[in-house]
Amino acid sequence: MARLFRQTSLLLALSLTLAVSALAAASADETARLGKDLTPFGAEKAGNKEGTIPAWDGGIATPPAGYQKGMHHPDPYAADKPLFTIAAADADKYADKLTDGYRAMLKLYPSFKMKVYPTRRSAAAPQRLYDATRNAAAKAQLTTGGNGVTGVSAGIPFPLPKNGSEAIWNHILRWRGNAFERNFVVAPLTRGGDYTPVEFKEIGDFRYNKEGMTEEKLDNIIAMFKQEIFAPARLAGRILLVHETLDQNKENRSAWLYNPGQRRVRRAPNVAFDNPKEGGDGLTTSDTVDMYNGSPERYDWNLVGKKELYVPYNSYALHSGKLKYKEILTPLHLNPDHLRYELHRVWVVEAKLKPGMRHIYQRRVFYIDEDSWQILAMDQYDSRDQLWRVSEAHCINYYEVPVFWSTVETHYDLQSGRYIAINLTNESTPYNFDVKFEATEFTPDALRREGRR
């Protein structure tokens, strides 16, 4: 009986693999739509029929007047006024435009509100990424089980996604610049609003999407990150190094950790899936950094469809260097006076834990921006299928690149009343994308050289 069960399971897995493989590269007719009725990244170029979502006109492709590199980015929409504010009493009125997570937060926290502004489709990328996406659309294929991508080395691989695996890989492989460095704060808050800031320095090198890159040159490594903790004292000196892979069937991500107490560099295979995030006080997992990262192998991914929802967008006010952390970080949730929400079309992707797989989230629902493939919001459910955590990415167009990416991520634990804010830069310097790194910066030997007690 056990042998028959294994054979049946193998046949089922094979059929699912073949089904995923059959939904491969886009046809010539589909690819021809990119840059015409669809944007170069596959979004609907036209606005909606109500006129509440405008047409995409290229986003912000150049910095506004007065911007200088190194500044906190001036808000190009500072003159906008809120169209309306959604509070707990209004939740039912706007229910069809709210995620389950936002409806829950409005019900649970009377102090939470959503100030809705005019929709500005600001997302943009360099022309070479648009060209690379057209090329990728005709060649990209999922590997076995949807656990990787082949045939590409740049561009959005599946601008016309046919399943949830393709959509989540679009997020993982989206344009985030060539490289970056940043100093930021992570704040895990108690229910009462107290926190000890965790100070990080991080550098990253995105090999996928670099000009002139080939799949052979990638050697299966799409990105490399290195981050060091400087405070508090109990965590200071810890350095994490990660190599992210394109085909997780060939090799899962590699990670190493320098521990100053031991003065040793060790492999860190647990920096993945639901292992707690470094410095996160147990409020979020490794695979929710950047909203989702790493192998998708533990979930079945369903592309639910596209929907118009109120989501965080153009969060320049939250990004401002004029704000202090104490003005942003309030009990239960971020200070809503500094948040901006807009109506956008998002792809809805539902991930359900596969039978026999382990993760603290039994189900997750992702809301992915059609213009950039950035996950903007996420609902996470526990083993009882009860809503547990709600996450959001407050994004801006870093128009000097240009690239659309988060400035702050928040992960709300509705069961404990706690939350964590990640990547705060208001009291430091914003991301610097004008950097280049040698590959030797991202090796275990580099960790040994940099490590100190």
pLDDT in tens, 79-137: 999 999 999 999 999 999 999 999 999 999 999 999 999 999 999 999 999 999 999 99
Question: Is the bond preceding 260 in cis, omega lying within 30 degrees of 0?
Answer: no
Asked if the model's pLDDT at residue 425 lies above 70, the reply is yes
Distances (CA, A) of 158 to 176, 347, 410: 17, 13, 27
The sign of the torsion formed by the CA atoms of 167, 168, 173, 177 equals: positive
Read off the DSSP letter of residue 52: S
What whole-number distance in Å separates Cα of residue 248 and Cα of residue 122? 33
Model pLDDT, residue 7 = 40
Indicate the average pLDDT of the chain: 93
The beta-strand segments (E) located in 403-448 are 403-413, 418-424
What whole-number distance in Å separates Cα of residue 345 and Cα of residue 136? 23
User: What type of residue is 351?
Assistant: A
Asked if the model's pLDDT at residue 78 lies above 70, the reply is yes
What whole-number distance in Å separates Cα of residue 429 and Cα of residue 442? 23
pLDDT tens readout for residues 254-271: 999 999 988 899 999 999
Asked if the model's pLDDT at residue 308 lies above 80, the reply is yes
| pLDDT range class, residue 451, cuts 50, 70, 90 | confident
Model pLDDT, residue 388 = 98
What whole-number distance in Å separates Cα of residue 176 and Cα of residue 372? 10
Strands 221-231 and 239-245: antiparallel
Residue 447 and residue 258 in contact, taking contact as beta carbons nearer than 8 Å: yes
Read off the DSSP letter of residue 269: T
Model pLDDT, residue 452 = 64
| pLDDT range class, residue 24, cuts 50, 70, 90 | low
Residue 390 and residue 284 in contact, taking contact as beta carbons nearer than 8 Å: no
| pLDDT range class, residue 11, cuts 50, 70, 90 | very low
Who contacts 383 (Cβ-Cβ below 8 Å, separation ≥6)? Answer: 360, 362
Helices (H) and strands (E) in the chain, counts: 9, 19
What whole-number distance in Å separates Cα of residue 48 and Cα of residue 345? 9
What whole-number distance in Å separates Cα of residue 194 and Cα of residue 188? 8
Model pLDDT, residue 17 = 42
What whole-number distance in Å separates Cα of residue 436 and Cα of residue 265? 25
- Over residues 378-403, the mean pLDDT reads 98
